Chain A
């Protein structure tokens, strides 16, 4: 079974822990990674790529010191190695200009506002992960119990 990662990026430790807790549902089948900055995330991406692991979803905060979430996700969007990786921006402090750049440059797949509803976050990641797995042509049968059935039915041909 291929290793698929879900990466969470936030400079606040508590937020990071809280996101991981909300995504604990995936923990037995997917790798949930926590990064405290965009730089840490970049390093992790290099490492995962070297191990030929898949990056299914990146959930990132926007306002972080040194490098913002939108900048990080824009780089990922332009990187051929992470084609198809789903990008979710989770932020309470994005200006309209940030949001425009996030959509145009980082090609966001989803945008959630802080404070988020844990159920909504879980459902969104489920859908994004299902899309990623089917679009990448990975064996969806292996992960089927954790995926979103309606999305699966819509995408399988």
Chain B
């Protein structure tokens, strides 16, 4: 194991060494000073996200601050007064700062507003109550219902909040299981698994998707509805697989289950406004181009409406997960630096990636992403891998027959959400593990199988959709 102090020393020392090395020691022709600093920032980010000496959102802020100090046009004096030839182009400070309010961040803010209003006006619990009813009392089908509802909610709410809500509904039910009935393992695991998978279905489902949007621009852009055309079938297939797997591994002996969720739909004018705004925002997202508004613009509508009518109050504003928004901002800033400094293009040219088979790249990058996501934050994983993959994808002409950059980025993004084999893999996993209803080996078994099968389904599905002309070039 690594010594505990190394996690503080490495992220400081290694980037410093990179900064001080002569610029011809990287094997990239004509490496500018700015590009060299970008490498150092990237290495620092990677080490901080992997070793976590500081909170992961703090690493994002650090990336942005170091970019401002070292590679922006208003940075430190010695970082901006080099010989233009050696130094390379500086990035405008406004470009770097704008990552805090990029359209992608605004899309997520809109999603947060919707989720907060839904929770506050109990739309989530009430919908769960109504939607669970048709699934009856057989444990098998109740579990299917729970998984489907968890997945649908996690498409629009945070995976963590969805998991907490569904687990609180399930707690009294699991308590009624006989002590030796392993069916409770299946129930306790079904929620985090469904929440992790469900987040894949929409651009706002989980932060790695937001990071991916940064690289799906111009001719590669994917609209909200297009994302769902790819994401929803994937989630449906994966949920069915997970459901069958959990039932096979941990069959319930209990014959009948009764879910008891109290409550009724709120019928105040404000509550109706929440229902209408929620439904219309999603509808506008799905309609895509028909009304001319982009998904980013649509996301601002609930922000305006809920603020106006005090549905989201001053106090609620403080409870927004700013850390998640900052975490994504840092990822975007990292991408901006790699791109605008010219490093991405330069580095890709220096290494003969074109001689690789494109499938090696797709499969290799996805697998690496899956493995990393099991051990660290899914978003941080996406922040690190996606800019590299996007740069490679853009330069590889051999990738085109397989759907080009879009397929590559989507495959890697989906893999980032499939890392769920350890309690530390995702917050939903940690919450479910705390219930004490299953051992970590049981979670490992389910997580590894779902990760591996999930990768195969991702590849198969993207291949198929590409052949059908739905995705890619």
Contacts and interface: CB of A to CB of B under 8 A. Distances in A.
Interface in A110-150: 141, 144-145, 147, 149-150
Contact of A141 (B116, B171, B430, B436): B430
Given A144-B434, A145-B434, A147-B434, A153 B164 contact: yes
B431 A157 contact: no
A149 B161 contact: no
Contacts of B160: 156
B435 interface: yes
Contacts, number: 35
A149 B434 contact: yes
B398 interface: no
A152 interface: yes
A156 B435 CA distance: 14
Contacts of A157: 116, 119, 161, 164, 319
Contacts of B164: 152-154, 156-157
A152 B434 contact: yes
B342 interface: no
A153 B171 CA distance: 9
Contact of A153 (B119, B319, B427, B431): B431
Contacts of A147: 434
Contact of A149 (B165, B319, B436): B436
Contacts of A150: 168, 171
Interface in B108-137: 116, 119
Interface in B145-178: 160-161, 164-165, 167-168, 171
Contacts of B116: 157
Nearest to B424: A141
Residue from A141, A150, A157 whose CB has the most chain B CB atoms within 10 Å: A157
A149 B438 CA distance: 13
B434 A156 contact: no
A154 B319 contact: no
A157 B164 CA distance: 7
Instruction: Name the prevailing secondary structure of the B interface residues.
Output: helix
A156 B431 CA distance: 10
A153 B168 contact: yes
B435 A149 contact: yes
A149 B430 contact: no
A157 B434 CA distance: 17
B119 A149 contact: no
A153 B430 contact: no
A1 to B, nearest CB: 12
A149 B437 CA distance: 11
Nearest to A151: B168
A145 B431 CA distance: 10
Residue from A141, A145, A153, A156 whose CB has the most chain B CB atoms within 10 Å: A153
A11 B161 CA distance: 44
B470 to A, nearest CB: 36
A156 B430 contact: no
B179 to A, nearest CB: 17
Contacts of A145: 434
Contacts of A153: 164-165, 167-168, 171, 431
A141 B427 CA distance: 8
A147 B171 CA distance: 15
A87 to B, nearest CB: 25
Contacts of B436: 149
Interface string B431-461: 1001110000000000000000000000000
Contacts of A149: 167, 171, 431, 434-436
Contacts of A144: 430-431, 434
A48 B164 CA distance: 33
A150 B319 CA distance: 21
A149 B319 CA distance: 22
B431 A152 contact: yes
A9 to B, nearest CB: 30
Interface in A56-115: none
Contacts of A152: 164, 431, 434
Contacts of B431: 144, 149, 152-153, 156
A147 B430 CA distance: 12
Contacts of B168: 150, 153-154
Residue from B116, B164, B434, B435 whose CB has the most chain A CB atoms within 10 Å: B434
Nearest to B166: A153
A154 B434 CA distance: 14
A150 to B, nearest CB: 5
A144 B431 CA distance: 8
Nearest to A148: B434
Nearest to B427: A141
23 contacts: A141-B427, A144-B431, A144-B434, A145-B434, A147-B434, A149-B171, A149-B434, A149-B436, A150-B168, A152-B164, A153-B164, A153-B167, A153-B168, A153-B171, A153-B431, A154-B164, A154-B168, A156-B160, A156-B161, A156-B431, A157-B116, A157-B164, A157-B319
User: Which 5 A-B pairs give the minimum distances between C-beta atoms?
Assistant: A153-B168, A156-B164, A153-B167, A149-B435, A150-B171
Given A141-B430, A149-B434, A153-B167, 19 more contacts: A144-B430, A144-B431, A144-B434, A145-B434, A149-B167, A149-B171, A149-B435, A149-B436, A150-B168, A150-B171, A152-B164, A153-B168, A153-B171, A154-B164, A156-B160, A156-B161, A156-B431, A157-B119, A157-B161
Interface of A: 141, 144-145, 147, 149-150, 152-154, 156-157
Interface of B: 116, 119, 160-161, 164-165, 167-168, 171, 319, 427, 430-431, 434-436
